[in-house]
Amino acid sequence: MDKDPVLQLRIFDLNCWGIRYLSKLRQERIEMIGDVLSTEGFDLALLQEVWSEGDYSQLKQKLSSRYSSSHYFKSGVIGSGLCVFSRYPILDTFLYQYSVNGYPYMIQHGDWFCGKSVGLVVIKIREIIFNVYVTHLHAEYCRDRDAYLPHRVVQAWELAQFIQHTAKGADVVLLGGDLNMHPEDVGIRLLRGWTGLRDSFAHTEKFEGCKDGCTLVPDNCFTNKKEMRWFPQGIRIDYVLYQALSHYTITCESLVTTTGTAPGKDVPYSDHEAVMATLHVEEQGGAEKGPSCTRAEPELVDTLNEARTEVRVGLHTAERQRYSCGRMAVLALLLLLLQGAMGLSSLLGGTLQQPFPKLSFSLLGLLAVVALLASGVLCLFHTIEVRMLQGTEEQMRLALQSLQHKLSCA
């Protein structure tokens, strides 16, 4: 194999749906994922939603003979859920946490608590430096009225920028993960356009699996059928993207997805389908254009403009929310001051008589304190959100300027 000029790399990517106490058959499925990784000859496994560190440890123990190196990325309250198993030694790791990621009060969605991030591991195979990125973006809960779209667009932009800035020392860039975006969504067009990364489904020589490469399909017994009613064939939101820089070329020889159940089993690995890509890396003379040089194409300008508009919509919403919270805090404070004055006055035997029953008065006071604390904290939260969205919008403006300058010079 060492003398073969072509390096073959087999990648396994899966959103494992490993939420403790909530995900069905979690332990059985983690067991199955461990089995497939240890029996099939993958070189890299990029996993998301491994929320339990116990599950990670179990996988690590099971896979230690085949995958010499692994890394679990920690962030947020319950961990990022991201981990990587590699047959080759991991030389370095780095984590970038997205600046916006939903709302802490949307507990039923819970994305905020995971501290959504992109993890980078650097590996070296036969002197070729691989920058391998694994990520999971904010989920889309309602496509028609997607309140999280601006946050997801910001995450896609930060992901693109992070790859763009960190990949310059690499020969090959790989990105795997649940991007929570359909293939033609603005975020993924921005990511592909800005970094030059290629979608393995679009460029594979051979494909086998769900129609259109879907990774969330109605045939999977764990998917929410109601959420899939507008997409009878399913949707594609899990990706393996790749790119060769410097003097290498990379091709996708084959791409396979599971099809609702794990091969030879009745149960799927997860509510998502696994994506398995076989890539070929080869040395070549000429240099391929890499992320060090974003291609100035009119289409990219349109995409960036579209993304910027989404960020502006998010900014407008965040400013409104900050204003509402601020106003609520001021009202709660006024109520509290008024109550304090009335309470003091009646205590000191003043002329003002207490007009309310004592219980209502106490409950009202309690409500005011809770409202003041909660709206104060939320006002801080939305202020940070506003700053981050303003910063992104400004960054995008600068990027557009640079692109348009390149286009006018071309």
Catalytic residue numbers read 272
Three-state SS string across 286-349, please? CCCCCCCCCCCCHHHHHHHHHHHHHHHHHHHHHHHHHHHHHHHHHHHHHHHHHHHHHHHHHHCC
Nearest to a second copy of 100, 188 (CB atom): 100
Q: Please give the Cα distance from 186 to 307 (Å, whole number).
A: 6
Name residue 350's amino acid.
G
Choose which of 6, 91, 334, 341 interacts with a second copy (CB under 8 A).
91
Please choose, out of 12-20, 216-224, 326-334, 358-366, the segment that lies near a second copy by the rule CB under 8 A: 358-366
Count CB-CB contacts under 10 A for residue 326. 17
Footprint on residues 110-129 left by a second copy (CB under 8 A): 115, 120
Nearest to a second copy of 54, 391 (CB atom): 391
Footprint on residues 193-252 left by a second copy (CB under 8 A): none
Nearest to a second copy of 92, 299 (CB atom): 92
Least Å distance, CB 5 to a second copy, is 25
Applying CB under 8 A, does 75 fall inside the site for a second copy? Answer: yes
Choose which of 19, 25, 95, 301 interacts with a second copy (CB under 8 A).
95
Query: What is the size of the binding site for a second copy (CB under 8 A)?
Result: 50
Token output for 407 = 């286009």
Applying CB under 8 A, does 64 fall inside the site for a second copy? Answer: no
Choose which of 27, 54, 68, 92 interacts with a second copy (CB under 8 A).
92
Nearest to a second copy of 305, 362 (CB atom): 362
Footprint on residues 139-178 left by a second copy (CB under 8 A): 161-162, 165-166, 168-169
Instruction: State the DSSP string of 189-239.
Output: HHHHHHH--EEHHHH-S-EESSGGG-SB-TTSTTS-TTTTTT-TT-B--EE
Applying CB under 8 A, does 73 fall inside the site for a second copy? Answer: yes
Q: Please give the Cα distance from 322 to 226 (Å, whole number).
A: 33
Applying CB under 8 A, does 399 fall inside the site for a second copy? Answer: yes
Applying CB under 8 A, does 40 fall inside the site for a second copy? Answer: no
Q: Please give the Cα distance from 173 to 245 (Å, whole number).
A: 8
Q: Please give the Cα distance from 17 to 315 (Å, whole number).
A: 31
Nearest to a second copy of 142, 347 (CB atom): 347
Choose which of 68, 263, 387, 407 interacts with a second copy (CB under 8 A).
387
Is 216:139 a contact under the CB 8 Å cutoff?
no
Torsion angles phi and psi, residue 229, rounded to 5: -65, -30
Name residue 319's amino acid.
E
Nearest to a second copy of 165, 206 (CB atom): 165
Q: Please give the Cα distance from 131 to 12 (Å, whole number).
A: 16
Please choose, out of 29-37, 145-153, 215-223, 386-394, the segment that lies near a second copy by the rule CB under 8 A: 386-394
Applying CB under 8 A, does 374 fall inside the site for a second copy? Answer: yes
Q: Please give the Cα distance from 36 to 228 (Å, whole number).
A: 28
Choose which of 90, 139, 221, 400 interacts with a second copy (CB under 8 A).
90
Helices (H), 98-179: 149-166
Name the DSSP class of 139: P
Angle between helices 149-166 and 358-409 (to 10 degrees): 50
User: Of the candidates 128, 190, 202, which has an alpha carbon nearest to the alpha carbon of residue 163?
Assistant: 190
Applying CB under 8 A, does 395 fall inside the site for a second copy? Answer: yes
Please choose, out of 86-94, 226-234, 263-271, 308-316, the segment that lies near a second copy by the rule CB under 8 A: 86-94
Choose which of 31, 390, 400, 404 interacts with a second copy (CB under 8 A).
390
User: Which residues contact a second copy by CB under 8 A?
Assistant: 71-77, 79, 90-97, 99, 104, 115, 120, 161-162, 165-166, 168-169, 292, 347, 358-359, 362, 365-366, 369-370, 373-374, 377, 380, 383-384, 387-388, 390-391, 394-395, 398-399, 402
